[in-house]
Amino acid sequence: MAVYMIYGCATLALLAALIYARKVMAVTIEGKTEEINRFREISGAIEEGAMSFLVSEYKYVALFCCGFAVLIYFALGYVHTEPDFAGLYAAASFLMGAFTSSIAAFMGMHIATKGNVRTAVRARSGIAPAFTVAFQSGAVMGFGLSGLAVFGLITMALIYHELIPDIHIAMEMVTGFGLGGSTVALFGRVGGGIFTKAADVGADLVGKVEAGIPEDDPRNPAVIADNVGDNVGDIAGMGADLFGSLAEATCAALVIGASAAAIAGSSDALYYPILVSAIGIPVCLVTALMARVTETNQDVEKTLKKQLVISTVLMTVAMWFLTHEVMVDEFILNGQTISRNNVLTSLLAGLWGGLIIGFVTEYYTSHSYRPVREIADASKTGSATNIIYGLSLGYKSSVIPVIVIALVVFLSWYSAGMYGIAMAAIGMISTIAVGLTIDAYGPVSDNAGGIAEMCELEAQVRERTDILDAAGNTTAAIGKGFAIGSAVLTGLALFAAFLTSSGIETLNLLSPVVFAGMLAGTTLPMLFTAQTMRAVGLAAFAMIEEVRHQFRTIPGIMEGHGRPDYKRCVAISTTAALREMVAPGILVVLSPLLFGILFGIEALAGMLAGAIGVGVVMAVSSSNAGGAWDNAKKYIETGVHGGKGSDTHKAAVVGDTVGDPMKDTSGPSLNILMKLMAIISLVFAPFIQAAHSWIESILGM
């Protein structure tokens, strides 16, 4: 039964995405002829830039994935004597995961670059119609991606279940799918993160500060790159990240579940983790249909936040029914008897934990509350106090989310063992369709504002898109909180699956090798953050040089009749992003492999624990500090403390610029670090063990 339901839900998702896409495309771009031309020119440039980045990026993704697939083929083929084509199976599911994730990102980007201009056009009629277009554009991404993910997962699982006699090994082979998704996310989050902030910081520093022209001014050669960046980072990057979490958490649950006889014996119970994500699709569809902004109810932010609450409540009910209908009564895992209610507890802990984290994130990053206002106050004495308060807020803001995660971990682990952690991760991400809809809504609205500015539409239009954008900023912060929370739980679930398949039942922290491994692991998020922040700095410098060069050499550019070379700026961001992501990418991929091979599985487990522990606090504090600085600046722009142009505002701009790479590059990239290192350990565990034994035998230990 489960399998049919899963395919039904996946089909529903893809249908919904198709219908939403048609609705968006049905909006005609109206106006005077010259306006229409301008619309086409600007939105065409953004679309072209976005697609040219994606094409360049996916060339490298394809190259990297092929190489990595070969590594998987040989490494796993070498150690697995059973089944016959182990290396091939793992490599194939890896490529499938990478491919599916790439398709989803392309789809999201495509519709976003169509939706932005249509949102701007509809904003001429009012907030409500503009909201509808932006929301529907986001929904294409939300439903399309979750449909593809669920479809891919169940298909791979069914095929391998059929082909491979040992069910546990079959599910281990499926984990390649998660690894593939996560590898694409590495490029999307890290490369995309560097792209977007290089363009943003570069455009701001040279445009606003040096040339004194406003944001989104078409005279700034980096302005298109900046708008492209919003799509690249917040749509392709975020999508790939969440795709990875969903795929990986599910793979972890499949692997762990398969080691319990009762689950392995029932296909319903075995595929239950996929079913939970699948059932999220109709739940989210019902929720999305309730999203309504009218001319009488223009509270966009409340509407979006309600989406999260409604989907969580509906999902609670759905999970309850589902668990009682589909899951086995009880099963035994590592000697622990686990009932279906224990599994339900884990799911619900994750689901509601995510909502709490989201709202705590909002508290720390929205200027409706005290923390951000304190940063605005501190800006009165200059940028130094603005930075001190922002950093301090960021650190503090990690406390409650991480304690909530600790509680979710405790509750789910205590209830349902390591299976519980995986189910908590799935629970947290089960409303992904709505979450991603809201996330993707943000950059579409943001772009719409940019287009309105660049096409010199009526001031009213920009005001309306600003309202949409402001709501998007808040939900983006909430979305980041979710993404981090689910990344940590997913990382832990993979960690648990890795230990399960390595046969480790106790990991004694009081052994030199584990403790030293943990200490060494704490340095990885630090190095990774340092690399990604510095990468943004370097890429931004390249952008600044280019913009200065164009200002100098293109005649009439400042008067508005010399056309800036937008493409060169996009190309610079693209090249810089792809070059600068190499070092952090290598760090993430190679450290678990090398560390494990040199020091053994236990040291590797310690290293992962250290990396996850530091990774989570760094990710939350970087994201929130960045969000808070951004909104402190926006708060001042509402006219407080002297408003725009005052010294206080200038001080707040410094904080905003510092926060840019923290919230959009290094912070979210840590999600990938936590998950990717764990899934590489899981997939390569047998190879690492074999290679380490080989080294030990050589050293004669």
By CB under 8 A, the residues from 202 to 241 that bind its own copies are 205, 209
At its nearest, how many Å lie between its own copies and the CB of residue 168? Answer: 19
Closer Cβ to its own copies, 266 or 522, answer by number: 522
* Total residue length of the chain: 701
Number of residues that bind its own copies (CB under 8 A): 76
Binder to its own copies among 514, 570, 680, 691 (CB under 8 A)?
514
> What minimum distance in Å lies between the beta carbon of 150 and its own copies?
29
Q: Taking CB under 8 A as the rule, which mask of x and - marks residues 142-181 in contact with its own copies?
A: ----------------------------------------
Q: Which residues, numbered 107-146, are part of the site for its own copies (CB under 8 A)?
A: none
- Amino acid at site 174: V
Which position among 505, 561, 699, 701 is part of the footprint of its own copies (CB under 8 A)? 505
Rule CB under 8 A: say whether 658 interacts with its own copies: yes
Least distance in Å: CB of 434 to its own copies? 27
**From the CB of 657, what's the least distance to its own copies, in Å?**
4
Interface with its own copies, residue 526, by CB under 8 A: yes
Q: How far is the CB of 590 from its own copies (least distance, A)?
A: 15
CB of 204 to its own copies, least distance (A): 9
The interface region with its own copies, picked from 164-172, 258-266, 406-414, 433-441 by CB under 8 A, is 406-414
Residue with tokens 């530091």: 614
Counting beta carbons within 10 angstroms of the beta carbon of residue 31, is it exposed (0 to 12), middle (13 to 18) or buried (19 or more)?
middle
Identity of the residue numbered 381: T
Per the DSSP assignment, residues forming a β-bridge with 337 are 332
Applying CB under 8 A, the span of 251-259, 361-369, 384-392, 465-473 interacting with its own copies comes to: 384-392
Q: Terminal CA-to-CA distance of the chain, rounded, Å? A: 53
Nearest-angstrom CA–CA distance, 72 and 90: 7
Task: Select from 110-118, 263-271, 285-293, 409-417 the region that touches its own copies (CB under 8 A).
Answer: 409-417
Least CB distance to its own copies at residue 76 (A): 25
According to CB under 8 A, which one of 507, 571, 582, 695 is a site residue for its own copies? 507
Q: Which one of 113, 475, 529, 681 is in contact with its own copies (CB under 8 A)?
A: 529
Q: Is the Cβ–Cβ distance between 481 and 236 less than 8 Å?
A: no
- Quick one: which of 26, 55, 309, 407 contacts its own copies (CB under 8 A)? 407
Judged by CB under 8 A, does residue 499 bind its own copies? yes
Comparing C-alpha atoms, which of 311, 342, 515 is closest to residue 413?
342
**CB of 117 within 8 A of CB of 42?**
yes
Among 657, 669, 671, 689, binds its own copies (CB under 8 A): 657
Residue in 136, 383, 465, 591 binding its own copies, rule: CB under 8 A? 383
- Residue 506: burial class (beta carbons within 10 Å; 0-12, 13-18, 19+): exposed
Q: 626: closest CA among 439, 361, 360?
A: 361
- Binding status of residue 654 toward its own copies by CB under 8 A: yes
Distance CA(119)–CA(133), nearest Å, equals: 6
Nearer to its own copies by C-beta: 97 or 661? Answer: 661
Tell me which H or E stretch contains 444. Answer: helix 432-454
Cα(138)–Cα(116) distance, integer angstroms: 10
Residue 270 or 653 having the CB closest to its own copies: 653
> Judged by CB under 8 A, does residue 1 bind its own copies?
no
CA neighbor of 686 nearest in space, from 264, 173, 152: 173
Helix 370-378 × helix 383-397 angle, to 10°? 160
Query: Which range of residues in 8-16, 118-126, 479-487, 502-510 is near its own copies by CB under 8 A?
Result: 502-510
Separation of alpha carbons 545 and 502, rounded Å = 51
Instruction: Report helix, strand or coil for 338.
Output: strand
**Nearest to its own copies of 281, 653 (CB atom):** 653
Cβ–Cβ under 8 Å, residues 425 and 273: no
What count of other Cβ atoms lies within 10 Å of the Cβ of residue 318? Answer: 18
Instruction: Pick one of 15, 317, 519, 598: the residue that binds its own copies (CB under 8 A).
Output: 519
Closest CB to its own copies among residues 78, 395: 395
Shortest distance in whole angstroms from residue 54 CB to its own copies: 27
Task: Name the minimum Å distance from CB 353 to its own copies.
Answer: 12
- 379: tokens are 């800006």
Q: Of the candidates 11, 56, 266, 381, which one interacts with its own copies according to CB under 8 A?
A: 381
Distance of alpha carbon 39 from alpha carbon 154, whole angstroms: 42
Q: How far apart are CA 37 and CA 572, in angstroms?
A: 26
Footprint of its own copies on residues 578-637 (CB under 8 A)? Answer: 605-606, 609-610, 613-614, 616-617, 621
- CA angle 266/267/271 to nearest 5° reads 120
Q: Compute the distance between CA of residue 425 and CA of residue 422 in angstroms, rounded to an integer.
A: 5
Window of 53-61, 229-237, 347-355, 381-389 that interacts with its own copies by CB under 8 A? 381-389
Alpha carbons 540 and 206: distance in angstroms, whole number: 10
Smallest separation, CB 540 to its own copies (Å): 7
Contacting its own copies within 320-379 (CB under 8 A): 378
Stretch of residues binding its own copies (CB under 8 A), selected from 76-84, 258-266, 526-534, 576-584: 526-534
The least CB distance from residue 122 to its own copies, in Å, is 36
Pair of tokens at residue 13: 């998702």
Which one of 43-51, 111-119, 214-222, 657-665 is the stretch in contact with its own copies (CB under 8 A)?
657-665
Kindly state the smallest distance separating residue 533's Cβ from its own copies, in Å: 4
State yes or no: residue 515 binds its own copies (CB under 8 A).
yes
Question: What is the C-alpha separation between 280 and 482, in angstroms, rounded?
Answer: 16
Structure tokens of 327?
């899951």
Residue of 301, 283, 299, 233 whose CA lies nearest to 440:
233
Applying CB under 8 A, the span of 314-322, 518-526, 560-568, 588-596 interacting with its own copies comes to 518-526
Choice from 544, 569, 581, 678 touching its own copies (CB under 8 A): 544
Q: How far is residue 75's CA from residue 691's CA, in Å, rounded to a whole number?
A: 10
Give yes or no for residue 398 binding its own copies (CB under 8 A): yes
- Restricting to residues 457-496, which ones interact with its own copies according to CB under 8 A? 492, 496
Contact 535, 627 (CB under 8 A): no
Which residues, 6+ apart, have CB-to-CB distance to 539 below 8 Å? 194, 195, 197, 198, 202, 572, 573, 576, 577, 580
Q: Does 271 bind its own copies (CB under 8 A)?
A: no
63 interacts with its own copies by CB under 8 A: no
Least distance CB 494 / its own copies (angstroms): 14
